[in-house]
Chain A
Amino acid sequence: MSTGADAGPRFRMVNVQPGYVIIEKERFSGAARSYFSAEPTPPKEEYVEGRQVWSYAGMAQSFQFDVRDSDTGRVTPFRELLGLLYYGCCREDSDIHRLGALAHELDISVYVAITYEAPGGSRLNISAEKIGILNRLFNERLRSPGKKILILPDLFDLYKEISHGQIAIDFGLTSMEQETPAGA
Protein backbone atom coordinates (compact mmCIF):
# COMPACT_ATOMS: atom_id res chain seq x y z
CA MET A 1 0.00 0.00 0.00
CA SER A 2 1.34 3.45 -0.85
CA THR A 3 1.66 5.92 1.98
CA GLY A 4 2.75 9.52 2.18
CA ALA A 5 4.20 11.83 -0.43
CA ASP A 6 7.29 9.72 -1.10
CA ALA A 7 5.41 6.59 -2.07
CA GLY A 8 5.27 7.53 -5.76
CA PRO A 9 2.27 7.41 -8.04
CA ARG A 10 -0.62 5.18 -7.10
CA PHE A 11 -1.39 4.23 -10.69
CA ARG A 12 1.29 2.84 -13.00
CA MET A 13 1.31 1.65 -16.58
CA VAL A 14 2.21 -2.05 -16.59
CA ASN A 15 2.28 -4.95 -19.05
CA VAL A 16 3.11 -2.61 -21.90
CA GLN A 17 2.69 -4.61 -25.10
CA PRO A 18 4.15 -3.12 -28.26
CA GLY A 19 2.34 -3.97 -31.46
CA TYR A 20 0.54 -2.54 -34.42
CA VAL A 21 -2.74 -0.83 -35.13
CA ILE A 22 -3.86 -2.61 -38.28
CA ILE A 23 -6.21 -0.73 -40.58
CA GLU A 24 -8.30 -2.77 -42.98
CA LYS A 25 -10.89 -2.00 -45.62
CA GLU A 26 -13.86 -3.98 -46.84
CA ARG A 27 -13.63 -4.63 -50.57
CA PHE A 28 -17.26 -3.92 -51.54
CA SER A 29 -18.53 -1.30 -49.10
CA GLY A 30 -15.25 0.53 -48.63
CA ALA A 31 -15.80 0.46 -44.86
CA ALA A 32 -12.66 0.81 -42.76
CA ARG A 33 -11.86 -0.49 -39.31
CA SER A 34 -8.86 -1.06 -37.14
CA TYR A 35 -7.63 -3.45 -34.50
CA PHE A 36 -4.54 -4.07 -32.40
CA SER A 37 -2.12 -6.85 -33.23
CA ALA A 38 0.72 -7.91 -30.95
CA GLU A 39 2.15 -10.31 -33.54
CA PRO A 40 5.85 -9.74 -34.32
CA THR A 41 4.97 -9.30 -37.99
CA PRO A 42 1.79 -7.36 -38.70
CA PRO A 43 -0.86 -9.57 -40.38
CA LYS A 44 -1.64 -8.55 -43.96
CA GLU A 45 -3.70 -11.50 -45.21
CA GLU A 46 -7.06 -10.85 -46.83
CA TYR A 47 -9.92 -12.75 -45.18
CA VAL A 48 -13.65 -13.35 -45.58
CA GLU A 49 -16.15 -12.54 -42.84
CA GLY A 50 -19.67 -13.51 -43.91
CA ARG A 51 -20.25 -11.62 -47.16
CA GLN A 52 -17.48 -9.18 -46.48
CA VAL A 53 -13.90 -9.36 -47.70
CA TRP A 54 -11.41 -7.45 -45.56
CA SER A 55 -8.04 -6.40 -46.87
CA TYR A 56 -5.04 -4.85 -45.19
CA ALA A 57 -4.93 -1.08 -45.75
CA GLY A 58 -2.15 0.16 -43.49
CA MET A 59 -0.69 0.06 -40.03
CA ALA A 60 1.00 2.10 -37.33
CA GLN A 61 3.17 1.06 -34.44
CA SER A 62 1.36 1.37 -31.16
CA PHE A 63 1.02 -0.35 -27.81
CA GLN A 64 -1.48 -1.65 -25.32
CA PHE A 65 -1.15 -1.50 -21.58
CA ASP A 66 -2.71 -2.27 -18.24
CA VAL A 67 -2.82 0.04 -15.24
CA ARG A 68 -1.89 -1.21 -11.79
CA ASP A 69 -3.36 0.38 -8.69
CA SER A 70 -0.62 0.13 -6.06
CA ASP A 71 -3.14 0.65 -3.25
CA THR A 72 -5.26 -2.37 -4.11
CA GLY A 73 -2.96 -4.37 -6.38
CA ARG A 74 -5.72 -4.43 -8.97
CA VAL A 75 -4.65 -4.48 -12.61
CA THR A 76 -7.03 -2.95 -15.15
CA PRO A 77 -6.57 -3.76 -18.84
CA PHE A 78 -7.24 -1.18 -21.55
CA ARG A 79 -7.69 -3.41 -24.59
CA GLU A 80 -10.54 -1.30 -25.95
CA LEU A 81 -8.46 1.89 -26.15
CA LEU A 82 -7.33 2.81 -29.65
CA GLY A 83 -5.83 6.16 -28.73
CA LEU A 84 -6.12 9.53 -27.07
CA LEU A 85 -7.13 12.41 -29.29
CA TYR A 86 -5.77 15.80 -28.21
CA TYR A 87 -8.24 18.64 -28.64
CA GLY A 88 -5.52 20.69 -30.34
CA CYS A 89 -5.44 18.11 -33.15
CA CYS A 90 -9.16 18.65 -33.84
CA ARG A 91 -10.73 21.17 -36.18
CA GLU A 92 -11.01 24.62 -34.67
CA ASP A 93 -14.74 24.78 -35.42
CA SER A 94 -15.47 21.52 -33.58
CA ASP A 95 -17.15 21.29 -30.18
CA ILE A 96 -14.20 19.44 -28.69
CA HIS A 97 -11.81 22.17 -29.81
CA ARG A 98 -14.03 24.88 -28.33
CA LEU A 99 -14.29 22.94 -25.07
CA GLY A 100 -10.57 22.21 -25.07
CA ALA A 101 -9.73 25.87 -25.66
CA LEU A 102 -11.86 26.89 -22.69
CA ALA A 103 -10.22 24.27 -20.48
CA HIS A 104 -6.80 25.32 -21.73
CA GLU A 105 -7.34 28.75 -20.19
CA LEU A 106 -7.41 26.93 -16.84
CA ASP A 107 -4.26 24.94 -17.68
CA ILE A 108 -6.29 21.80 -18.37
CA SER A 109 -5.36 19.78 -21.45
CA VAL A 110 -8.31 17.87 -22.88
CA TYR A 111 -7.96 14.49 -24.58
CA VAL A 112 -10.67 12.13 -25.82
CA ALA A 113 -10.38 8.37 -25.40
CA ILE A 114 -11.14 6.72 -28.74
CA THR A 115 -11.92 3.02 -28.68
CA TYR A 116 -11.67 0.19 -31.18
CA GLU A 117 -14.69 -1.20 -33.01
CA ALA A 118 -16.55 -4.22 -31.76
CA PRO A 119 -16.83 -7.10 -34.25
CA GLY A 120 -20.37 -5.96 -35.10
CA GLY A 121 -19.20 -2.50 -36.16
CA SER A 122 -20.21 -0.56 -33.05
CA ARG A 123 -17.62 1.05 -30.81
CA LEU A 124 -16.28 -0.74 -27.77
CA ASN A 125 -17.38 0.94 -24.59
CA ILE A 126 -14.90 2.27 -22.07
CA SER A 127 -16.36 2.52 -18.60
CA ALA A 128 -16.46 5.66 -16.49
CA GLU A 129 -14.28 3.87 -13.95
CA LYS A 130 -11.61 3.24 -16.57
CA ILE A 131 -11.75 6.85 -17.74
CA GLY A 132 -11.18 7.80 -14.12
CA ILE A 133 -8.16 5.50 -13.91
CA LEU A 134 -6.67 7.00 -17.10
CA ASN A 135 -7.09 10.47 -15.65
CA ARG A 136 -5.37 9.45 -12.43
CA LEU A 137 -2.59 7.69 -14.32
CA PHE A 138 -1.62 10.64 -16.47
CA ASN A 139 -2.22 13.36 -13.89
CA GLU A 140 -0.03 11.60 -11.34
CA ARG A 141 2.86 11.76 -13.81
CA LEU A 142 2.73 15.55 -14.21
CA ARG A 143 5.28 17.88 -12.63
CA SER A 144 4.31 21.29 -13.98
CA PRO A 145 2.57 23.20 -11.18
CA GLY A 146 -1.12 23.67 -11.83
CA LYS A 147 -1.17 21.61 -15.00
CA LYS A 148 -3.95 19.05 -15.41
CA ILE A 149 -4.97 16.45 -17.97
CA LEU A 150 -8.65 15.75 -18.57
CA ILE A 151 -9.42 12.60 -20.53
CA LEU A 152 -13.03 12.37 -21.67
CA PRO A 153 -15.00 9.50 -23.15
CA ASP A 154 -15.90 10.00 -26.81
CA LEU A 155 -19.07 12.00 -26.13
CA PHE A 156 -18.61 13.75 -29.45
CA ASP A 157 -18.59 10.66 -31.71
CA LEU A 158 -15.18 11.79 -32.90
CA TYR A 159 -14.27 8.30 -33.97
CA LYS A 160 -16.52 8.80 -37.01
CA GLU A 161 -14.35 11.65 -38.19
CA ILE A 162 -10.99 10.07 -37.52
CA SER A 163 -9.08 9.39 -40.67
CA HIS A 164 -7.68 5.88 -40.62
CA GLY A 165 -5.11 7.15 -43.08
CA GLN A 166 -3.75 9.48 -40.44
CA ILE A 167 -3.13 6.54 -38.15
CA ALA A 168 -0.97 5.02 -40.85
CA ILE A 169 1.03 8.19 -41.28
CA ASP A 170 1.61 9.05 -37.68
CA PHE A 171 2.62 6.78 -34.90
CA GLY A 172 1.45 5.84 -31.47
CA LEU A 173 -1.33 6.05 -28.98
CA THR A 174 -2.20 9.60 -29.83
CA SER A 175 -1.89 8.92 -33.54
CA MET A 176 -5.15 10.49 -34.44
CA GLU A 177 -6.19 13.79 -35.84
CA GLN A 178 -9.57 14.82 -37.07
CA GLU A 179 -9.91 14.41 -40.78
CA THR A 180 -10.06 17.68 -42.64
CA PRO A 181 -13.23 17.81 -44.72
CA ALA A 182 -12.75 17.89 -48.47
CA GLY A 183 -12.48 21.44 -49.70
CA ALA A 184 -11.68 22.82 -46.25
Chain B
Amino acid sequence: MRLKELGEKLELKGVTQVFERDVTGVYISDMVSDVIANAKAGDLLVTVQLHSNVIAAANLVDICGIVATQGKLPTDDVVRMAEKAKITIFSTDLNRWQMATKLYEAGVR
Protein backbone atom coordinates (compact mmCIF):
# COMPACT_ATOMS: atom_id res chain seq x y z
CA MET B 1 0.00 0.00 0.00
CA ARG B 2 1.18 3.51 -0.79
CA LEU B 3 1.90 5.83 2.09
CA LYS B 4 -0.45 8.56 0.88
CA GLU B 5 -3.30 6.09 0.46
CA LEU B 6 -2.71 4.72 3.94
CA GLY B 7 -2.63 8.20 5.46
CA GLU B 8 -5.97 9.05 3.86
CA LYS B 9 -7.55 5.73 4.81
CA LEU B 10 -6.60 6.11 8.47
CA GLU B 11 -7.26 9.88 8.53
CA LEU B 12 -3.73 10.63 9.68
CA LYS B 13 -2.68 14.27 9.90
CA GLY B 14 0.24 15.07 7.62
CA VAL B 15 2.91 16.98 9.51
CA THR B 16 5.35 16.95 6.62
CA GLN B 17 4.95 16.66 2.91
CA VAL B 18 3.78 13.11 2.07
CA PHE B 19 6.45 11.34 0.05
CA GLU B 20 5.52 8.54 -2.32
CA ARG B 21 6.66 5.28 -0.74
CA ASP B 22 5.32 1.76 -0.40
CA VAL B 23 4.49 0.64 3.11
CA THR B 24 5.82 -2.90 3.37
CA GLY B 25 5.57 -3.39 7.12
CA VAL B 26 5.17 -1.74 10.50
CA TYR B 27 7.55 -1.35 13.39
CA ILE B 28 6.43 0.00 16.75
CA SER B 29 9.14 1.28 19.05
CA ASP B 30 10.21 4.27 21.12
CA MET B 31 13.88 3.31 21.19
CA VAL B 32 16.25 4.46 18.48
CA SER B 33 18.62 1.54 19.06
CA ASP B 34 15.74 -0.91 18.71
CA VAL B 35 14.72 0.69 15.43
CA ILE B 36 18.25 0.44 14.06
CA ALA B 37 18.64 -3.17 15.14
CA ASN B 38 15.25 -4.53 14.16
CA ALA B 39 13.22 -2.33 11.82
CA LYS B 40 13.29 -3.07 8.11
CA ALA B 41 13.48 -0.81 5.09
CA GLY B 42 9.98 0.14 4.02
CA ASP B 43 8.52 -0.21 7.51
CA LEU B 44 6.20 2.45 8.86
CA LEU B 45 7.48 3.47 12.29
CA VAL B 46 4.84 4.04 14.96
CA THR B 47 6.31 5.93 17.89
CA VAL B 48 5.77 8.60 20.46
CA GLN B 49 9.36 9.87 20.06
CA LEU B 50 9.91 12.70 17.62
CA HIS B 51 13.41 14.10 18.07
CA SER B 52 16.16 14.48 15.50
CA ASN B 53 17.80 11.15 16.36
CA VAL B 54 14.61 9.33 15.42
CA ILE B 55 14.87 10.91 11.96
CA ALA B 56 18.56 9.96 11.81
CA ALA B 57 17.72 6.34 12.68
CA ALA B 58 14.72 6.22 10.33
CA ASN B 59 16.89 7.51 7.50
CA LEU B 60 19.64 5.00 8.28
CA VAL B 61 17.19 2.09 8.15
CA ASP B 62 15.17 3.51 5.22
CA ILE B 63 11.90 3.72 7.13
CA CYS B 64 9.11 4.78 4.74
CA GLY B 65 7.36 7.07 7.20
CA ILE B 66 6.61 7.82 10.83
CA VAL B 67 3.29 7.95 12.67
CA ALA B 68 3.56 10.02 15.82
CA THR B 69 0.94 8.86 18.27
CA GLN B 70 -0.92 10.50 21.14
CA GLY B 71 -1.03 13.84 19.36
CA LYS B 72 2.74 14.36 19.46
CA LEU B 73 4.09 16.95 17.06
CA PRO B 74 7.71 17.49 16.05
CA THR B 75 9.55 20.78 16.29
CA ASP B 76 10.15 22.78 13.13
CA ASP B 77 13.79 21.69 12.86
CA VAL B 78 12.76 18.03 13.04
CA VAL B 79 10.14 18.63 10.32
CA ARG B 80 12.83 20.22 8.13
CA MET B 81 15.21 17.33 8.75
CA ALA B 82 12.52 14.76 7.93
CA GLU B 83 11.52 16.48 4.71
CA LYS B 84 15.14 16.74 3.64
CA ALA B 85 15.50 13.00 4.24
CA LYS B 86 12.18 12.42 2.41
CA ILE B 87 10.61 10.85 5.47
CA THR B 88 6.90 11.49 5.90
CA ILE B 89 5.64 12.25 9.40
CA PHE B 90 1.99 11.76 10.25
CA SER B 91 0.35 12.54 13.55
CA THR B 92 -2.63 10.91 15.24
CA ASP B 93 -4.37 11.29 18.56
CA LEU B 94 -4.56 7.50 18.87
CA ASN B 95 -2.14 5.62 21.08
CA ARG B 96 0.27 3.05 19.68
CA TRP B 97 -1.98 0.08 20.34
CA GLN B 98 -4.98 1.74 18.72
CA MET B 99 -2.80 2.71 15.77
CA ALA B 100 -1.49 -0.84 15.44
CA THR B 101 -5.05 -2.14 15.36
CA LYS B 102 -6.05 0.36 12.67
CA LEU B 103 -3.02 -0.53 10.56
CA TYR B 104 -3.84 -4.24 10.82
CA GLU B 105 -7.45 -3.58 9.87
CA ALA B 106 -6.22 -1.58 6.88
CA GLY B 107 -4.35 -4.62 5.66
CA VAL B 108 -0.80 -3.67 6.59
CA ARG B 109 0.98 -6.72 7.94
Count A-side interface residues using an 8 Å CB cutoff. 29
Closest chain A CB from B66 CB (angstroms): 15
Beta-carbon contact of A88 and B32 below 8 Å: no
Q: In chain B, what residue has the closest Cβ to A60? A: B33
Cβ contact within 8 Å between A88 and B52: yes
Partner of A175, one of B24, B53, B61, B86: B53
Given A171-B31, A171-B33, A174-B36, answer yes or no on A89-B53 (Cβ-Cβ < 8 Å). yes
Residues of A contacting B85 in the complex (Cβ-Cβ under 8 angstroms): 88, 109
Interface size classification for chain B? 20 to 34
Interface of A is mostly: mixed
Asked if A177 contacts B62 (CB within 8 A), the reply is no
**B37 and A175: CB pair below 8 A?**
no
Given contacts A88-B81, A175-B53, 17 further A-B contacts (CB under 8 A): A18-B33, A62-B33, A63-B36, A63-B37, A109-B85, A138-B61, A142-B41, A142-B62, A144-B41, A149-B60, A170-B51, A170-B53, A171-B30, A173-B33, A174-B32, A174-B36, A176-B53
